[in-house]
Chain A
Amino acid sequence: MFEQPPLDLAFAALADPTRRAILARLAQGEATVLELAEPFDMTQPAVSQHLKVLEDAGLVSHRVEGSKRPRRLSKAGIDAMDQWLDMLRNALKANYSRLDQVLASMERKNAGPKKKGEPQ
Chain B
Amino acid sequence: MSKLTLRTEGDTYLIVTRRFAAPPEAVYRAHIEPELVQKWMLGPAGWTMPVCINEAKPGGKIRYEWSHPQRGSFFLTGEFLELEPYSRIVHVERMHLPDPTPDNHVETRFVTDGSGTLMTMRMTLPDAQTRAAMLSTGMENGMEASYVRLEEMIKPGLARTGAA
Question: Residues on A close to B: CB < 8 A?
Answer: 4, 6-8, 11-17, 20, 23-24, 26-30, 61, 72-75, 78, 80, 82-96, 98-104, 106-107
Given known pairs A27-B157, A74-B164, A102-B39, the reply for A107 and B101 (CB within 8 Å) is no
Are A94's CB and B42's CB within 8 A? yes
Interface string of B131-163 (1 = CB under 8 A from A): 011101111000110011011011111101111
Given known pairs A8-B133, A102-B40, the reply for A83 and B74 (CB within 8 Å) is yes
Are B26's CB and A107's CB within 8 A? yes
Are B71's CB and A15's CB within 8 A? no
* One of A24, A28, A73, A83 near B97 (C-beta < 8 A): A83
A15–B29 Cα gap in the complex (Å)?
36
Q: Say what secondary structure dominates the interface of chain B.
A: helix
* One of B4, B39, B132 near A93 (C-beta < 8 A): B4
What chain A residues lie within 8 Å of B155 (beta carbons)? Answer: 27
A20–B150 Cα gap in the complex (Å)?
9
Are A75's CB and B158's CB within 8 A? yes
A103–B27 Cα gap in the complex (Å)?
7
A58–B21 Cα gap in the complex (Å)?
44
How far is the CB of A65 from the nearest CB of chain B, in Å?
Answer: 15
A86–B20 Cα gap in the complex (Å)?
24
* One of B6, B43, B101 near A7 (C-beta < 8 A): B101
Are B95's CB and A87's CB within 8 A? yes
Given known pairs A80-B97, A88-B139, the reply for A15 and B154 (CB within 8 Å) is no
A13–B21 Cα gap in the complex (Å)?
40
A29–B132 Cα gap in the complex (Å)?
27
A60–B70 Cα gap in the complex (Å)?
25
B30 at the interface (CB under 8 A from A): yes
Are A15's CB and B132's CB within 8 A? yes
Are B156's CB and A27's CB within 8 A? yes
How far is the CB of B77 from the nearest CB of chain A, in Å?
Answer: 15
Interface string of B116-140 (1 = CB under 8 A from A): 0000000000000110111011110
